[in-house]
Chain A
Amino acid sequence: MAQRGWRTKRGRKALAAVVYAVLGRGLVASARLDERVRGEVRSWPDGAVVTLRIAPFGPQVSWRVSGGVLTYLGGAEAPADLLVTFKSVDDAIPLLLGMQGVLAAFAEHRATVRGDLALAMSLVRCLHIVEGYLFPDIMTRRILPHPAERRASHATAYVFLLFRTASLEGAAS
């Protein structure tokens, strides 16, 4: 019987692309809502492009920081200053679905990093905070190094994620 949905590699890649879009906007929203993420992003070199990619052909998600403000670039090709590449879609999925922590994924050689490792550490801290907003405690307890400390409620984060970022993007374009 032919397999369907996320059981196929194509399905898992499509799923990864969807999560990337949520994570992509989630990081931008967190950078507006949460001063910890804002602080991290402000320490990144101005103009830097950060990309998460799945080898060999994507999908991928990128952000650019300029003037301390983060912009979501989606899957657009941009020369990355920090490139995190998952070795396969199956290395990315557990992390993207909140089943594996970011640090555990690095420890298990699931991703390679090209660029400044200190910047990568800062990105990891940001992702931990974003995961705190995206996932319930029952999941974050397993994947985060510390209990999730939220500076805004899940609800605010979701509303922000769904509407504010979209409208801000609309206003910006």
Chain B
Amino acid sequence: MIPDYYEFCNSAKIVSGSKAIEHIGYELAALGASKPLVLTNKQLLELKVATVVLDALKDTEAEVVAVYDDVPVDSSVAVVNDVARVYRETGADAIVAVGGGSVLDTAKGATIVLTHGAEDLMEYRGAESLVGRRAIAFIAIPTTAGTGSEVTSAAVIKDTERHVKMGFTSLSLLPDVAILDPRMTTGLPPRLTASTAMDALTHAVESFSCVQANPLSDCYARSAIDLIREYLPKVMADSKDPKTRLALANAALLAGAAFSNAMVGIVHAMGHATGGVAGVPHGDAMAILLPHGMAYNLGCAGDRYGELLLNLAGAEAYAATPAAERGTAAIAAVRAMMMSLHESAGLPLTLAEAGVLPEQVPDIAKAALNDGAMSMNPRQPTYEELVEILKGAL
């Protein structure tokens, strides 16, 4: 599969392994930085997850000039501006972000404010419109294995006063270094592990079937799915095993790099809308909607899903399935994965189980149609088609 034209960038240095965080001093020095601001949240400090990073930093030449732990669940403009203020006041020269999607997005927002001197972040919204080198060293340490935000060029930040969600995509948002250390994720409860893994799986599947899929993003997507197929059941069986945790963290990173370049489609468009209208957590929405989105795309992306059967179900199953049936079999493989996560972790199987009301469907469909992710889907649904898909997932 070779598109007429494509772009691919994954410039972050990946540092992955047990005790990888102990290299943070070296990585900061390599970036020419010595005064990091550590960005995290209170929960991660209480759970002694972020403290692993702070402890590692104690044993380096770098001096932590501030620990900012006030990042809320949704990254907001006010917090982004506040982080930038603390950064300036403390004379920091790097941001070390330790957390999930919201912490990393907040860090990305702060780098925009600090690099471009943004008074109003709203003016910098857009796709690829931010150009120029980032002025700040930026290390990302994810504490979930799902969003892949440590290697994506995108950030979403809420303006809570004006009630708008601002989207940014720019290569200048890519962290310099992404550190994956199993100590960051071994404490994740099974329910959250399952939900975030399904987010990563959706990134891989959607990037593989979206209009911008390319030979490089395909490699990342396939590797991510291989790791999820092999290691997710193992993590669900023994959540403390560092090796399997590291494998899942790598899967999320690979899937993140795939979709940052090849984009996501209808499943994310519907998922963002379901989150916005009915408050369904992103990973849960992905798990529920992925097979439905794949079924809708089957007519135009069936061959691509068929190729993924190799990764979703393994070589034996792939070889045993006639080519014409592989697309449908890929959807069945995703459903089987969902079912086992439903049994082992209580992941919801339907939108109704996730708390969506039938009367919310029209609003979800409307929001999904307006979502930027929809534009990269291989097939463009009408409003009526979206309502049907969502009803099918209820």
- Which residues of A have CB within 8 Å of B119? none
Contact of A121 among B125, B126, B211, B375 (CB under 8 A): B375
How many B residues touch A, CB cutoff 8 Å? 28
User: Contact mask A94-135 → B, CB, 8 Å, 1/0?
Assistant: 000000000110111110111111101110100000000000
Chain A, interface size category, equals 20 to 34
Which chain A residue has the least Cβ–Cβ distance from B380? A145
Q: In the complex, what's the smallest C-beta–C-beta distance from A109 to chain B, in angstroms?
A: 5
- Which residues of B have CB within 8 Å of A118? 370-372
A106-B127, A114-B126 given. 12 additional CB < 8 A pairs?
A83-B126, A103-B376, A107-B211, A112-B128, A116-B164, A117-B125, A117-B126, A118-B372, A121-B370, A121-B372, A121-B374, A121-B375
Please determine whether A114 and B375 come into contact, CB atoms closer than 8 angstroms.
no
User: Contact mask B360-394 → A, CB, 8 Å, 1/0?
Assistant: 00000000011110111001101000000000000
Does B167 lie at the interface of the complex (its beta carbon under 8 Å from any beta carbon of A)? yes
Q: In the complex, what's the smallest C-beta–C-beta distance from B216 to chain A, in angstroms?
A: 14
- Which residues of A have CB within 8 Å of B129? 83, 85, 112-114
Please determine whether A146 and B380 come into contact, CB atoms closer than 8 angstroms.
yes
Contact of B7 among A104, A109, A122 (CB under 8 A): A109
Query: Roughly how many angstroms separate A150 CA and B363 CA in the complex, as a whole number?
Result: 26
Please determine whether B211 and A117 come into contact, CB atoms closer than 8 angstroms.
no
Contact of B125 among A110, A116, A146 (CB under 8 A): A116
User: Contact mask B227-243 → A, CB, 8 Å, 1/0?
Assistant: 00000000000000000
Query: Roughly how many angstroms separate A51 CA and B154 CA in the complex, as a whole number?
Result: 23
Please determine whether B125 and A103 come into contact, CB atoms closer than 8 angstroms.
no
Interchain Cβ contacts within 8 Å, total number: 64
B203-259 interface with A by 8 A CB criterion: 210-212
Please determine whether B127 and A108 come into contact, CB atoms closer than 8 angstroms.
no
Query: Roughly how many angstroms separate A106 CA and B210 CA in the complex, as a whole number?
Result: 13
Please determine whether A115 and B125 come into contact, CB atoms closer than 8 angstroms.
yes
Contact of B126 among A103, A112, A124, A145 (CB under 8 A): A112
- Which residues of A have CB within 8 Å of B26? none
Does B194 lie at the interface of the complex (its beta carbon under 8 Å from any beta carbon of A)? no
Does B120 lie at the interface of the complex (its beta carbon under 8 Å from any beta carbon of A)? no
Which chain B residue has the least Cβ–Cβ distance from A116? B125
Q: In the complex, what's the smallest C-beta–C-beta distance from A54 to chain B, in angstroms?
A: 15
Known: A107-B211, A109-B128. A117 touches B372 (CB 8 A): yes
Does B77 lie at the interface of the complex (its beta carbon under 8 Å from any beta carbon of A)? no
Which chain B residue has the least Cβ–Cβ distance from A122? B370
- Which residues of B have CB within 8 Å of A107? 210-212, 263, 375-376
Query: Roughly how many angstroms separate A122 CA and B374 CA in the complex, as a whole number?
Result: 12
- Which residues of B have CB within 8 Å of A108? 3-6, 212
Contact of A117 among B4, B167, B380 (CB under 8 A): B167
Query: Roughly how many angstroms separate A120 CA and B371 CA in the complex, as a whole number?
Result: 10
7 residue pairs, one from A and one from B, having the closest CB atoms: A145-B380, A114-B129, A114-B126, A112-B128, A113-B127, A117-B372, A107-B211
Contact of B380 among A103, A106, A120 (CB under 8 A): A103
Which chain A residue has the least Cβ–Cβ distance from B170? A112
Query: Roughly how many angstroms separate A108 CA and B166 CA in the complex, as a whole number?
Result: 22
Please determine whether A115 and B375 come into contact, CB atoms closer than 8 angstroms.
no
- Which residues of A have CB within 8 Å of B380? 103, 145-146
- Which residues of B have CB within 8 Å of A116? 125, 164, 166
Please determine whether B128 and A115 come into contact, CB atoms closer than 8 angstroms.
no
Give me 22 A-to-B residue pairs in the complex whose CB atoms sit less than 8 angstroms apart, sorted by A's number. Answer: A103-B376, A103-B380, A104-B211, A106-B127, A106-B375, A107-B211, A107-B376, A108-B4, A108-B6, A109-B7, A110-B5, A112-B126, A112-B127, A113-B128, A113-B129, A117-B125, A117-B126, A117-B127, A118-B371, A121-B369, A121-B372, A121-B375
Which chain B residue has the least Cβ–Cβ distance from A118? B370
Query: Roughly how many angstroms separate A145 CA and B370 CA in the complex, as a whole number?
Result: 15
User: Contact mask A44-80 → B, CB, 8 Å, 1/0?
Assistant: 0000000000000000000000000000000000000
Query: Roughly how many angstroms separate A120 CA and B167 CA in the complex, as a whole number?
Result: 12
Which chain A residue has the least Cβ–Cβ distance from B376? A107
- Most chain-A CB neighbours within 10 Å: which of B3, B7, B372, B382? B372
A140-170 interface with B by 8 A CB criterion: 145-146
- Which residues of A have CB within 8 Å of B212? 107-108
- Which residues of B have CB within 8 Å of A120? 127, 372
Contact of A124 among B5, B124, B375 (CB under 8 A): B375
- Which residues of B have CB within 8 Å of A114? 124-126, 129
Query: Roughly how many angstroms separate A114 CA and B123 CA in the complex, as a whole number?
Result: 8
- Which residues of A have CB within 8 Å of B5? 108-110
User: Contact mask B111-155 → A, CB, 8 Å, 1/0?
Assistant: 000000000000011111100000000000000000000000000
Which chain A residue has the least Cβ–Cβ distance from B123? A114
- Which residues of A have CB within 8 Å of B263? 107
